[in-house]
A and B are shown apart, each in its own frame.
Chain A
Amino acid sequence: MLPKFDYFAPQTLQETFEQLENRGEDARVLAGGTDLIVALRAREVLPKNIIDIKEVKELHKLSYDENHGLNIGAAVTLNRLIHDARASGNFPVLIEAISTIADYQIRNRATLVGNICNASPAADSAPALLVLDATVNIASQEGKRSVPIQEFFAGVKKTSLARNELVTSVNVPTPPKGSVGSYLKARRTVGEDLCVVGVGGLAAPNGKTSKSLRLAYSSVAPTPVRAFEAEKIFESTRPLDHLLDEAMPIVRKAVSPISDVRGGREYRMNLVEVLTRRLVRRLWGGELDWRGIQ
């Protein structure tokens, strides 16, 4: 049985902002519901009001062009994104990451924007969005603002969103030409478990012999994190094994995993190293096995 609440389904963005303005202090936004309804049942959240945004047409928009990249509305489900040829063709790291979220039925309801607003440290979409330099578009009655994805996460289950604000969409710029990306995830079972460690990477050609690399992690810190310092090591033409050896202590400094039911701190630290080496070798090798998710 779920706790009692009042349900609102505004039809327009303006109505949604008004509802958030009036009831936002004691409200939760409902998109796919696959996190919110679980949290309600466990009484982890007890909002007086639930504001369902799925009646708002604009929030179902999914658009792509090369200059502006991919724009993902707040009500776009994971499966819609996964089966969109423009998304899978241009953003394989994102599609690979979100294909590992829960299972097929859940992905028919769950949304990408919901995955980041839930702000779990284990959010699988986050490392992909971090390496793709995504931007979060936020709006309220007072106006609009956009924040880089790494500034959006504020802590465990916390975002930088104010109570009267709504994430309307996420924008993902087209990655540099010739870049390759991949997401590796350690998990205990397929489908019904959260990530133990996730690592996303994007490598872009940098001149003829060198590459620039972006690396990001989930489940190893209070928020998903980009490893900016470690990335710099790879701007070099030295052999990859040397670069990896040099980068590992810096990667370890970028993360601060805890021990929990899914894995101990030391185990996670070890996974960070193993998965990073595997991922970067894969990105350097050119040939990528897209389905080879751990």
Chain B
Amino acid sequence: MDNLYRDFILEHYRNPHNKGLLEPHDLHFADSNPTCGDELSMTFVLDSAGEHIADVAFDGRGCAISQASASILTDELRGMSLDEAREMDPKDLLEGLGVPIGPARLKCALLSYKVLQGAVRGGETAWPEEADVV
């Protein structure tokens, strides 16, 4: 238990990085976790060439895992090209969380990844298959 809710996760949950809404923004996407109905949105500002992420913010409410995951993921995104963001491996995000994520909480941990993919791919994407990420 203390394994899952390590200080690192709880710190991101209490004081999330990049929380809010960027106005104006270039990209916006929102999605929800079907098991609990939690919604998460992301807004992006791109560089002048429209190829790199200049700034990003996420908004929405959710559990410690989904909020920490969004906080940690958005930290990684500044300066990243849209191509790099599209090619991101969800396993890297799960590793970045640094705690064991069981199947019951996988969608909580990957909601931010799914919102990111929806934004950079221009539409809703499928949830990563459990077998591919665990």
Instruction: Answer whether A and B are interacting partners.
Output: no
